[in-house]
Every structure is written in structure tokens, then in C-alpha cells.
Amino acid sequence: MMKCNLLKLSVLLLIGGLFACDSDPKLSEKALIPLPEKVVEQNGVFTIDENTKVFIDRPELEGVGVFFSKFINHSTGFNIQVVTEKPESDYIALELGLDAPDEGYGLDVRPDVIRIKGASTEGVFRGFQTLRQLMPVAIEKEGGFEGGSWKIPGVKIEDAPEYAYRGSMLDVARHFFGVEDIKRYIDLMSLYKMNYLHLHLADDQGWRIEIKSWPKLTEIGGSTAVGGGEGGFYTQEDYKEIVAYAQERFITIVPEIDMPGHTNAALASYPELNCNGEAPELYTGIEVGFSTLCTDKEITYQFIDDVVRELVELTPGPYIHIGGDESHVTPLEKYIPFIEQVQDIVNSYDKRVIGWDEIAHAALRPSATAQYWSKAENAKMAVDQGAKVLISPATKAYLDMQYDSTTQLGLHWAAYIELDSAYLWDPAELEEGISKDDILGVEAPLWTETITTMNELEYMVFPRLIGIAEIAWTKPGLREWDDYKSRLIKHEERLKALGVNYYSSPLLKKGKAK
Ligand code: ACM
């Protein structure tokens, strides 16, 4: 192999890649997910070695440059540096100025240089995730080098996302997941170019974010979980750490406080939020639809204003999610003015509202988004009001739905969702009257009634989240199940290298590539 490298080096410098080594990686061996818009194979390979540099053409790329060099150094043991003076050769160039949509990028891998050019720093970051998937899977492991070689097949890629919002939701209320778990989730999302993580921070069974002006929310409301476990919550410092970690990976955190229903934890913490002034017991079951904030009391709106104000201080992103689902014990004539008032509170802090599709019963404020999970007629009411829709159909995108009747974890009240079912749909074709222009994006929620550990979480999420990421990123005309399946089969090696406890579906074994 060494001989081949030396020969290749001298020959490549002269005529650029006419000779290939048998041991060189082939583009056809790689699995790019989500599939980029345009992929053209090129001659030659680029080899990352200890002399490779990351070159940035603008100071604002320093953050991503340092992020990439650390990522590469972590596995290779190299000490690759970020430089601002262009090297002669053997460098990865990060550049801005591409004329493309915001997260668009171009990636050009040649024997002497790799170029990632973005329309924004975000675009450059997305381009790096594509480059990562062209690298040997050992790049995913600390010290993965072990004498290996870091060759990347020549290719030219042009790419941009179909939807601006490509997200996932974690329910940290039914069962709590700590900061390290959330960071791992963010890391895994970033590999698939996802850009929003929605945290469901409060529900009947738990309140998970410290609110300094209402401290009993976490003292009492955060003290348990489904099944009576010990619960937990994020301090504001914890939460800032999550937000910053996500920002570094170009992921925006969307905090949700579900209301007026799904509020037993808050009602148990503060009796004054109940119409009868009495605090209910903490709740550790999995029923829904039995709790409501008292929509008639002034104190309720003071409470919401305080919570939103503190959340906004922790939230650089544009959205606050107000829940609004399954408020079965709030009469509609009270629910509607409540949702309208809460939208005004959120808007008064210059944030936009997202709420589950039921909020479309209220007059939606101009910047509001309805998250379609259950009723198409609600989503259509939102569109008729000029609002955008975030697409999360429970029958396709709910990651807690069981794969089939043998799945031990999860539930199946909406559907069994095998990998093909999770992949074979198009947000813009799902419901008549909801077209591409009405859609903000796609989000895959994981509810955690039955999920207690990261291992369990990963089993339900992977690999379905990967298919949802492709639906949200890749143009529908380029998506095809058999092609996706064969890429996913190749991608399993990377999931293993990452230590992901994914569901090894029978669909991935049938017709497995030799
Ligand atoms: C929901 O699944 N209740 C939004």
C-alpha cells in the first residue's frame, strides 16, 4: 500500500488521478444521507495526513474551522491546524460566498485540495457533514486511526435543503434525560444536517426547566416521572450549556411549555393555578387530557408571562412552543382566548409561537406555526389563516410508535411504523390543501412514556430519524426507497462506529448488498 501511495503521489502531481489504487475508497462504497442534490464522481482521492491544513478564507469561519480540525484530530491523532494563508496543496478550504440558499454548499474533493464553499457558515457546516460521510467510518471513534489511512474519494457535490426546518423533539417530561444525553442526541442529529431540537420541557408528569421566579415548579413538579422515578430538571446553567452546544452545531433549541392542558406538574406545584385553589397530587401515569391551567385567573397569565420571559432569556432561537394539544378539560370557549393571549405574551418578547395543530381553533397571530400531528382539518385551518405548518404526522413521524407488533418498547396508538413507512411519504403530498409553500419543515418527535434510557431512546429513534432527515433535506424527486435502503445498509457500519443502539430491521437484511 505504501508503494501505491508513493507512486500515486508522484503521478497525481503530474496528471491528477489517472492511476487509482485498488485499495482506494470508491464513491460507490459510501453512503450519503441525506442524499445531496447533485453528486458527480471525480478521479483521484484526497488523503488526510498530519500535514493537512484547514484553510479559512474569512475570519467568521474560524469557529467551524476549529470545530472540524478538532473533529478530525480526535480520531486521527493528527494535529491539524486552521490557517488563514492558503497552503500550496494538501488542505481543506472553507469558503463563503456561494450563490445558493442559506444552508447550501458545494463540496469538491480533488487529490490536492478539498473545497467546501457555503452560502453561509451554516452551509459550510452542512457541507462538512457530507465530507464526514465520505471519510472512513473510523473517523467516528476517538483514536480510530490505528494505522489506518484517511482517504476520501474524488467527488463534486452541489446541495441545498428542501425545507428550512428539519427537526426532532424529545419529551424530557415523561422521563428526564440529562445534559450529556441531550448533547449526544444533538451530535447524532447534526450528522444528518438537522437544525432544530424541540425540547418538551413540561407535562403532567414533570416540569424540567428551572424558573427562578416560580421555584416550586422544579422542586415539586420536577421531582418525579412516569412510573414514579426520581425525575430531574435542567438548571438554567444546564440549559444554557445545551443551547450553546447546539449552536456550535448549527442546531436551534425550541423550548416547549405545554398549556393549558398537560400541566399537572405545574398545578401540583402551585395551588393558585387551579380554579379550585387546590393542588392535585403529582401524576406518574400515562393518561392524557385531564389537566388544565385555570384560564379565568389573572395569576395564570402572570405565571405564563414569567415563564416565557425567563425562557426567552435562555433562547437565542426564534421560537417558543406553547403546546396546546389535548386540552380535553378546557372548554373551547375558554381555550380559544387563552391561546390568543398566550400568543400575544410570546410575541411581546419578540418570539414566534409554535403550537400543536389544535391551536388553529384560535385566531393565529401572523408569525405563528401549527405543528400538524393529528388532525388534517386543524392543519388546514392554520393554512387558511395564512400560518405555516410544521409537519409531524403521528402515523409517519412519531418515533415512539412501535416498528411492528413485536417491538418491546413504545406504543402503537397511531400506527406501527416500519422503516419503509417512515420514509415513504412526502410532506407536500400528505394532505390536500397543504402544499410546499405552506410548510415550514418536518419534525420527528419522540414521546417517552415507555423510554427510560438513552439505549432505549436510540433503539426507537434510529434509523427512522435518518429517513425523516432525508425527507426534510432531499428533493422528493430524488428520493427512492430501494436506493435509500441500500445507502442505509452501508451506513450501518457508521452507526456501529458511533455506538448507536439502532433497530436492525428485517428490511435491512433482505437483499443486503454483498
Ligand atoms: C401529541 O402527541 N399530543 C402532540
With a 6 A CB cut-off, is 196 part of the ligand 1 pocket? Answer: no
- E-strand spans in 333-479? 352-356, 369-372, 388-391, 439-446
- Same domain membership, residue 290 and residue 193: yes
Ligand 1: atom nearest CA of 394 is 2
| Residue 237 domain flag | yes
Ligand 1: atom nearest CA of 326 is 3
Among 198, 256, 325, the mutation site with the greatest number of ligand 1 atoms within 8 A of its Cβ is: 325
| Residue 135 domain flag | yes
With a 6 A CB cut-off, is 325 part of the ligand 1 pocket? Answer: yes
> What was the pLDDT predicted at 149?
78
CA 430 to chain centre: 21
- Same domain membership, residue 72 and residue 180: no
| Residue 305 domain flag | yes
With a 6 A CB cut-off, is 372 part of the ligand 1 pocket? Answer: no
Q: What is the CATH number of the domain that holds 63?
A: 3.30.379.10
How far apart are the C-alpha atoms of 356 and 369, rounded to whole Å? Answer: 9
Kindly report the three-state secondary structure assignment for every residue of 289-325.
Answer: CCCCCCCCCHHHHHHHHHHHHHHHHCCCCCEEEEECC
Please state, in angstroms and as integers, the Cα–Cα distance from residue 112 to each residue in 22, 43, 90, 201, following that order. Answer: 19, 12, 5, 48
Q: Which residue has the cell 407488533?
A: 405
Q: Is the dihedral of CA 236, 241, 244, 250 positive or negative?
A: negative
| Residue 38 domain flag | yes
List all residues 6 or more positions away from 255 whose beta carbon is below 8 Å from its beta carbon: 199, 201, 209, 311, 314, 315, 320, 321
Ligand 1: atom nearest CA of 356 is 4
Q: What is the CATH number of the domain that holds 201?
A: 3.20.20.80
- Same domain membership, residue 456 and residue 370: yes
With a 6 A CB cut-off, is 400 part of the ligand 1 pocket? Answer: no
> What was the pLDDT predicted at 5?
47
- Same domain membership, residue 221 and residue 155: no
How far apart are the C-alpha atoms of 301 and 321, rounded to whole Å? Answer: 16
User: Which of 122, 248, 272, 326 does the annotation list as catalytic?
Assistant: 326
How far apart are the C-alpha atoms of 315 and 323, rounded to whole Å? Answer: 17
| Residue 2 domain flag | no
Q: Which residue has the cell 496543496?
A: 89
- Same domain membership, residue 204 and residue 71: no
How far apart are the C-alpha atoms of 13 and 386, rounded to whole Å? Answer: 58
Q: How is residue 162 written as a grid cell?
A: 428542501
> What was the pLDDT predicted at 23?
81
Reply yes or no on whether 340 is catalytic: no
Each of the 514 residues of the chain gets a pLDDT tens digit; together they read 333 444 444 444 444 444 557 789 999 999 999 999 999 999 999 999 999 999 999 999 999 999 999 999 999 999 999 999 999 999 999 999 999 988 999 999 999 999 999 999 999 999 999 999 999 999 998 877 666 679 999 999 999 999 999 999 999 999 999 999 999 999 999 999 999 999 999 999 999 999 999 999 999 999 999 999 999 999 999 999 999 999 999 999 999 999 999 999 999 999 999 999 999 999 999 999 999 999 999 999 999 999 999 999 999 999 999 999 999 999 999 999 999 999 999 999 999 999 999 999 999 999 999 999 999 999 999 999 999 999 999 999 999 999 999 999 999 999 999 999 999 999 999 999 999 999 999 999 999 999 999 999 999 999 999 999 999 999 999 999 999 999 999 999 999 999 999 999 999 995 554 4
- Same domain membership, residue 329 and residue 257: yes
Q: pTM for this structure? A: 0.96
Q: How is residue 66 written as a grid cell?
A: 476549529
| Residue 4 domain flag | no
| Residue 506 domain flag | no
Residue whose CA lies nearest to ligand 1 atom number 2: 373
Among 204, 356, 448, the mutation site with the greatest number of ligand 1 atoms within 8 A of its Cβ is: 356
304 touches 345 (CB < 8 A): yes
- State how beta strands 352-356 and 196-200 pair: unpaired
- Same domain membership, residue 271 and residue 134: no
Which residues constitute the domain of residue 454?
165-477
- Same domain membership, residue 171 and residue 152: no
> What was the pLDDT predicted at 13?
42
- Same domain membership, residue 205 and residue 130: no
- Same domain membership, residue 233 and residue 189: yes
Find the 212 Cα to ligand 1 centroid distance in Å: 28
Where a domain ends, among 135, 159, 183? 159
Ligand 1: atom nearest CA of 373 is 4
How far apart are the C-alpha atoms of 287 and 176, rounded to whole Å? Answer: 18
Where a domain ends, among 109, 133, 159? 159
- Same domain membership, residue 386 and residue 347: yes
List all residues 6 or more positions away from 121 whose beta carbon is below 8 Å from its beta carbon: 60, 61, 63, 64, 96, 250
| Residue 171 domain flag | yes
Closest among 349, 381, 343 to 365, alpha carbons compared:
343
How far apart are the C-alpha atoms of 459 and 434, rounded to whole Å? Answer: 32
Among 374, 389, 412, 448, the mutation site with the greatest number of ligand 1 atoms within 8 A of its Cβ is: 374
Classify residue 499 as exposed, middle or buried by CB count within 10 Å of its CB (0-12, 13-18, 19+): exposed
How far apart are the C-alpha atoms of 381 and 387, rounded to whole Å? Answer: 9
Q: How is residue 123 written as a grid cell?
A: 452551509
Where a domain ends, among 159, 185, 210? 159
- Same domain membership, residue 374 and residue 264: yes
For the chain, the domain total comes to 2
Residue 239 burial (CB count, 10 A): 23
